[in-house]
Amino acid sequence: MRLRTLLDQYIQTRMKKNNHQKSIHSGVKEIAKMANVSIATVDRVLHNRAGVAPSTKRRIHRIIKELDYKPNIIASRLASRKVFHFAVLIPAVSDETDFWQGPLNGVIRAEKTIKEYGVKIDFYFFDISNRNSFVEQSHKVFNNNVDGVLLAPSFINEAKIFTEECRKNKVPYVLIDSNIPHEENLCYIGPHLFRSGLLGAQLVNLMLGEEGEILIVNIAHEVDDHNYLLEIEQGFRSYFSYRDLHPDIHKIDLRQTDYASIAKSLDKIFRTKDTPIAVFVTNSRVNIVARYFEEAKIEIELLIGFDFINKNIEYLKKGIIDVLICHKSEEQGYKGIMALYQHLVLEETVENIHFMPIDIITSENCEFYSN
Amino acid sequence: MRLRTLLDQYIQTRMKKNNHQKSIHSGVKEIAKMANVSIATVDRVLHNRAGVAPSTKRRIHRIIKELDYKPNIIASRLASRKVFHFAVLIPAVSDETDFWQGPLNGVIRAEKTIKEYGVKIDFYFFDISNRNSFVEQSHKVFNNNVDGVLLAPSFINEAKIFTEECRKNKVPYVLIDSNIPHEENLCYIGPHLFRSGLLGAQLVNLMLGEEGEILIVNIAHEVDDHNYLLEIEQGFRSYFSYRDLHPDIHKIDLRQTDYASIAKSLDKIFRTKDTPIAVFVTNSRVNIVARYFEEAKIEIELLIGFDFINKNIEYLKKGIIDVLICHKSEEQGYKGIMALYQHLVLEETVENIHFMPIDIITSENCEFYSN
DNA sequence: CTGAAAGCGCTTACAG
DNA sequence: CTGAAAGCGCTTACAG
């Protein structure tokens, strides 16, 4: 009933608008005439540029309100030759993981759709396993012309220094993939990690019931440095504690990320009796665990991990990984650039936090997934 | 390794471009000069308008290719006062189901983003439970100015007649939600139903193993008329037959869609011994089944249905529905309009089929779902 | 603090 | 079959 009403309202509003359709869409010219000034002065007020008498300014503002004037962005972009420079500071795609191909593709897609509006994008790729490369690249950003920044704060402390620099220079920045909450962020676009962990646990619970041991696997050079992994793990555990369930949950932190080391560690667990029946890997490296199971010819009930990357999809299709939890990495890149565009070019307000959907991917729906 | 290379290539291409950056982006003026004609003639060739000497036409075409000329759409839309009229022919949002609110919202969102480019949308809502209302509304479409159509072919035969009419009038049309394959469709935007059925079965299999009886429930006034439901059911059954699995699958077709009738039919099944442990409802009416289970205080292992509509989400959150399979109905409306825009306004080619993702929604990820 | 004028890259009558 | 000119709604030097 509620929806019906809203719909009706919408249609009525549209009809009214259509009737007035031919009433010439008011522009700077009309405002100028009404205010007895030139269009140049109107333009100054519209863009908050200095050098307008306060009284004139007030008068023009009043008229703008009255007419409910909306600038014609088409005309604005055509007339203006200002070029906006966006810097993108994200990890390079590496042999180890192609996760960052997603956001990169999204950035490129956004670039294509708005390049006509005078946006240029400069890339600064750093090495995800090398803290210094982040610092190095972040220094380069301010050497060039830069109006806005998109960054993945993979190294939290270094990223904090960098974002502070942005704030000092009045350069708006967008965070993707993980967040460093700060009121002056333009916005964060990425997953709600805790909730992703909750979902992982729900899937385990739905698929296994409450029997059998569950193993959480964290794989990262610096596990403790990434609150990324910790938030997911906390979410995962909370699902059960919220419901007063007490499954047998073990966990292992693997700080060596090469296959041999990981296989060795897993061997210690899976070559014994009473092995876990479900394994939850807290990031995209689930494919390494899958490879281990494949090579060691071990079959477990359930293997869940994260991220829509090629190596993971391969094991998903083979039936070794059962479920991937994904966060639309391509979309993060796309939306990140569009947020800068909205703020800087369109001068519109941008919502501060965009949580990505938490997608459940299996071998049967992976084909149609748009990352 | 492959990705690395692609990336490097991309960056190099960009750098080259940046070097040439200042080489004035060639426009109609330059083409005109090179061809020794006026820009009006260039414009005629660009838009395939009649009245240009064949030799001139050829010459201009050659130059366009040579310069790799891309028209500036911004300028084009600003200069042109042509308004495009899109007709949208979809079911009204009804008290019975708010499914169509999704596509409608998508259409409205698309309208907002392209209305500056001179697109006007006219709505023709029909009653999903009244075949004649479709016919009635579809007749109205051609009374008005119409450059393109978006339709949901809910009544197949009537829709076939209508799309034929579109073809006769050279009016391109886009189908959403379900398809009537035809080579002259501009495109189809919607789910791959068979694959959705497969996924439903996979979820049942993952969550239950192979024990217990499964019940398929089709709810529609004219079940046999909707190959929609049949395709899903076939997909569902195929999952098991592909794998040579033979679970105990029953099915029931309910042609009365009110609660009382459905409850009565379900009572016959669930008030006996040996009741099904999993129920798979092939459309959005799963909330009616959920309501029955709630009121009859029956608990089953697994209830799966379709579509992200309010009543379904309510039961999802209550834990009565376990999983909803969703097809981004909002996105279908949005993409449908954008496809018309791409074809008619931008004069770009449009892919013929866009299958929507098949999304798995549970109580833990429904909050972040973008329909 | 303000304005007149040129121009962004196209499209559109109109005239021939 | 073709062209000269005005205009779309803004922005941008430049001059005062």
Residue B245 tokens, joined: 């699995």
Task: Note whether A142 and A229 are same-domain residues.
Answer: no
Q: Give the residue among A36, A17, A37 at the shortest CA–CA distance from A25.
A: A17
Residue B50 tokens, joined: 């009649």
DSSP labels, A140-164 = HHTTS--SEEEE---SHHHHHHHHH
Inter-axis angle of helices B54-67 and B28-35, nearest 10: 130
Task: Note whether A204 and A319 are same-domain residues.
Answer: yes
Residue A253 tokens, joined: 């932190």
- Beta strand extents in A36-134 (DSSP E only): 84-91, 119-126
Q: Give CA–CA dist A185/A163, Å, rounded.
A: 8
Higher pLDDT among residues B113 and A313, named by residue: A313
Residues A52-62 pLDDT 10s: 888 888 989 99
Contact yes or no for B11/A123 (Cβ under 8 A): yes
Residue A98 tokens, joined: 């192609």
- Which residues, including other chains, have CB under 8 Å from residue B141's CB and lie 6 or more apart? B87, B89, B124, B149, B162
Residue A277 lies in a domain: yes
Per-residue pLDDT at A224: 63
β pairing state of B84-91 and B148-151 = parallel
Phi, psi dihedrals of residue B187, rounded to the nearest 5°: -170, 165
Per-residue pLDDT at B22: 33
Residues B144-167 pLDDT 10s: 889 999 999 988 899 999 999 999
B27 touches strand C (CB under 7 A): yes
Per-residue pLDDT at B210: 72
Distances (CA, A) of B299 to B90, B207, B275, B294, B304: 37, 16, 11, 8, 13
Spanning CA of B19 to C1' of C13, the rounded length in angstroms is: 41
CB-facing half-sphere around the CA of B223: CA atoms within 13 A: 18
Residue A274 tokens, joined: 């009473």
Average pLDDT value over all residues in chain B: 88
Spanning CA of B51 to C1' of C16, the rounded length in angstroms is: 14
**Chain B residues 22-41 with CB within 8 Å of chain A:** none
Higher pLDDT among residues A175 and B26, named by residue: A175
Mean pLDDT of B326-352: 94
Task: Note whether B114 and B178 are same-domain residues.
Answer: yes
Spanning CA of A172 to C1' of C1, the rounded length in angstroms is: 31
Per-residue pLDDT at A95: 78
Average pLDDT value over all residues in chain A: 88
Higher pLDDT among residues B265 and A4, named by residue: B265
Task: Note whether B93 and B32 are same-domain residues.
Answer: no
Residues A230-256 pLDDT 10s: 899 999 999 999 999 999 999 999 999
Environment class of A36 (CB within 10 Å of its CB; exposed 0-12, middle 13-18, buried 19+): exposed
β pairing state of B213-219 and B302-306 = unpaired
Domain span at residue B66? 2-78
DSSP category for residue B17:
H
Residues A49-105 pLDDT 10s: 888 888 888 989 998 988 888 888 889 989 988 899 999 999 999 877 789 999 999
Length of chain A (residues):
371
Of A4, A75, A365, the CB nearest to B357: A365
Of B7, B10, B357, the CB nearest to A369: B357
Environment class of A161 (CB within 10 Å of its CB; exposed 0-12, middle 13-18, buried 19+): exposed
Spanning CA of B83 to C1' of C16, the rounded length in angstroms is: 30
Which residues face A57 on adjacent strands? Answer: none
First-last CA distance in chain B: 36
- What percent of chain A lies above the pLDDT cut of 90? 65
Q: Tokens 């019906």, residue?
A: A4
Task: Note whether B204 and B184 are same-domain residues.
Answer: no
Task: Note whether A118 and A185 are same-domain residues.
Answer: yes
Q: Give CA–CA dist B105/B49, Å, rounded.
A: 36
Q: Tokens 């024990």, residue?
A: B211
Choose the final residue of a domain: B40, B56, B78. B78
Q: Tokens 């480019």, residue?
A: B117
Please name the residue whose C-alpha is nearest to the C1' of nucleotide D7.
Answer: B79
- What percent of chain A lies above the pLDDT cut of 70? 92
Task: Note whether A20 and A55 are same-domain residues.
Answer: yes
Mean pLDDT of A171-178: 95
How many other C-beta atoms can be found within 10 angstroms of the C-beta atom of residue B169? Answer: 12
Residue A104 tokens, joined: 């990169």
Residue B191 tokens, joined: 């789910």
Residue B192 tokens, joined: 């791959």
Residues A142-164 pLDDT 10s: 998 899 999 999 888 999 999 99
Mean pLDDT of A34-63: 89
Chain B partners within 8 Å of A117 (Cβ): 74
Residues B68-81 pLDDT 10s: 888 888 899 899 88
Task: Note whether A112 and A14 are same-domain residues.
Answer: no
Residue of chain A whose Cα is closest to the Cα of B92: A4
Strand D bases within 7 angstroms of protein beta carbons? 1-5, 7-13
Residues A294-305 pLDDT 10s: 999 999 999 999
Q: Give CA–CA dist A345/A338, Å, rounded.
A: 10
Please name the residue whose C-alpha is nearest to the C1' of nucleotide C13.
Answer: B40
Residue of chain A whose Cα is closest to the Cα of B113: A73
Task: Note whether B202 and B299 are same-domain residues.
Answer: yes
Return residues with beta carbons within 7 A of strand D. Answer: A 24-25, 27-29, 39-40, 43, 46-47, 69, 71-72, 75-76, 78-82; B 36-41, 44, 50-54, 56, 75, 78-79, 81
Chain B partners within 8 Å of A368 (Cβ): 192, 195, 355-358
Spanning CA of A72 to C1' of C6, the rounded length in angstroms is: 20
> What are the respective helix, strand and coil percentages of chain A, to the nearest 5?
50, 15, 35
Count of the separate structural domains present in chain A: 3
CATH at B141: 3.40.50.2300
Residue of chain B whose Cα is closest to the Cα of A101: B3
Residues A308-362 pLDDT 10s: 999 999 999 999 999 999 999 999 999 999 999 999 998 889 999 999 999 999 9
- Beta strand extents in A202-301 (DSSP E only): 213-219, 248-254, 278-281
How many other C-beta atoms can be found within 10 angstroms of the C-beta atom of residue B356? Answer: 21
Q: Give the residue among A96, A92, A37, A83 at the shortest CA–CA distance from A64.
A: A37
DSSP labels, B313-361 = HHHHHHTSS-EEEE--HHHHHHHHHHHHHHHHTS-----SEEEPP-EEE
Task: Note whether B221 and B320 are same-domain residues.
Answer: yes
Secondary structure element (H or E) that encloses residue A306, with its range: strand A302-306
B82 touches strand C (CB under 7 A): yes
Per-residue pLDDT at B371: 85
Q: Give CA–CA dist A243/A251, Å, rounded.
A: 20
Residue B126 tokens, joined: 């029909």
Residue B144 lies in a domain: yes
Per-residue pLDDT at A13: 39
Length of chain B (residues):
371
Residue A37 has pLDDT above 60, yes or no: yes
Residue B104 tokens, joined: 């409608």
Residue A365 lies in a domain: no
β pairing state of A302-306 and A148-151 = unpaired
Task: Note whether B202 and B300 are same-domain residues.
Answer: yes
Residue B371 lies in a domain: no
Residue B7 has pLDDT above 60, yes or no: no
Per-residue pLDDT at A9: 41
Residue A11 has pLDDT above 60, yes or no: no
Residue B26 lies in a domain: yes
Secondary structure element (H or E) that encloses residue B219, with its range: strand B213-219
Query: Coil, strand or helix: which one is A361?
Result: strand
Residue B71 tokens, joined: 């028209």
Residue B366 lies in a domain: no
Choose the final residue of a domain: A50, A78, A106. A78
Closest C1' nucleotide to A78's CA: C8
Residue A350 lies in a domain: yes
Q: Give CA–CA dist A184/B308, Å, rounded.
A: 35
Residue A226 has pLDDT above 80, yes or no: no
Query: Coil, strand or helix: which one is B189?
Result: strand
Residue of chain A whose Cα is closest to the Cα of B205: A207
Task: Note whether A11 and A69 are same-domain residues.
Answer: yes
Residue B19 has pLDDT above 80, yes or no: no
Q: Does B208 touch chain A (CB under 8 A)?
A: no
Mean pLDDT of B45-56: 88
Q: Which of A76, A77, A368, A370 to mutate to test binding with chain B, by most B CBs within 10 Å of its CB?
A: A368
Phi, psi dihedrals of residue A249, rounded to the nearest 5°: -105, 120
Q: Do B195 and A101 touch (CB under 8 A)?
A: no
- Least reliable range by pLDDT among A110-114, B1-5, B29-33: B1-5
Residue A343 lies in a domain: yes
How many DSSP H helices and E strands does chain B contain? 14, 12
